Amino acid sequence: MPRRSALALIPLGLAAVLCGCAGEPLPFDGTTYPQDYRVRHPILLSQQPARLAVIPRWAYGLDPRQADDVRAFGHAFRTETMGVIQVSVPVVAGRPTPLVKTNARAVRTALVGTGIDARNIRWSEYDATGLGPQSPLNLSFAKLTATVPHPCNDWPYDLAAGAGFESFQNEPYWNLGCASQTNLALQAADPLDLVRPRVEGPADTVKRVNDIQQLRTGNDPSTDYGPTAASASGS
């Protein structure tokens, strides 16, 4: 092909490339989202069930492992809720097996031993026909839980080499902060701590007065953790 003809085709090729780029759909529809990760991925409080399955495997009661599990479940119930604890017992032909009866009594004893009023233990039954002899006793209660309302798997933008112009906006990507918010919600011992701080305890009046006296005399009121102080405290 003559060089002049080839040069004449260059503008046509560029036009075709530009048309192709213009017709390519964007990876995201351009909808704006909050820049604050706490707004994009809020931590919400809700009532969620806490569950424990007790497998009846010992004929004379709970084995040590499951007895510890039930006691820990009972302590969690006392500290996390003021409602009732549900115990669902498996039955076959409308009746529980002797093994289930023995374990149910052991569960009740363990729960009452943690300080739970027996009137706050509600019993129910479920049909375990065909489920086998190891059908569990299901314990549950509702507790306040902190969670992020959506999973951390939404990536509307392509952060790799195929990213478009949105990567030049110098803004946080959508998924940023989702994992840290989820971990924070899971690590909170009391979900209410994420809503408001706890009430302050009384100040140490003796230490406060002593610190003021030290400042008035020109001394350092901070605690001395040096070797001299350590030897003096050990003597």
Rounded distance, CA 35 to CA 221, Å?
45
Task: Please report, for the chain, the start and end positions of each structural domain, with discontinuous segments joined by +.
Answer: 44-147
Rounded-to-10 torsion of CA 189, 192, 196, 199: -70
DSSP codes, 48-105: EEEEEEE----TTS--HHHHHHHHHHHHHHHHH-SS-EEEEEEEBTTB--HHHHHHHH
At 12 the pLDDT is 46
Does residue 67 contact residue 106 with C-beta atoms inside 8 Å?
Answer: yes
At 167 the pLDDT is 63
Helix, coil or strand: residue 137:
strand
Residues of the chain with pLDDT under 70: 1-31, 161-167, 228-235
Which DSSP symbol is given to 153? Answer: -
**Closest to 40 in 3D by CA, of 174, 146, 191:** 174
At 100 the pLDDT is 92
Rounded distance, CA 209 to CA 178, Å?
46
Rounded distance, CA 174 to CA 203, Å?
44
Which DSSP symbol is given to 36? Answer: S
At 161 the pLDDT is 60
- CB neighbour list of residue 162: distance below 8 Å, 6 or more residues apart: 27
Q: Give backbone dihedrals phi and psi of 131, rounded to 5 degrees, phi first.
A: -90, -5
Q: Is the entire prediction scored with pTM above 0.75?
A: no
At 235 the pLDDT is 52
Does residue 54 contact residue 62 with C-beta atoms inside 8 Å?
Answer: yes
User: Which residues, in sequence order, are bridge partners of residue 211?
Assistant: none
Class of domain 44-147: alpha beta
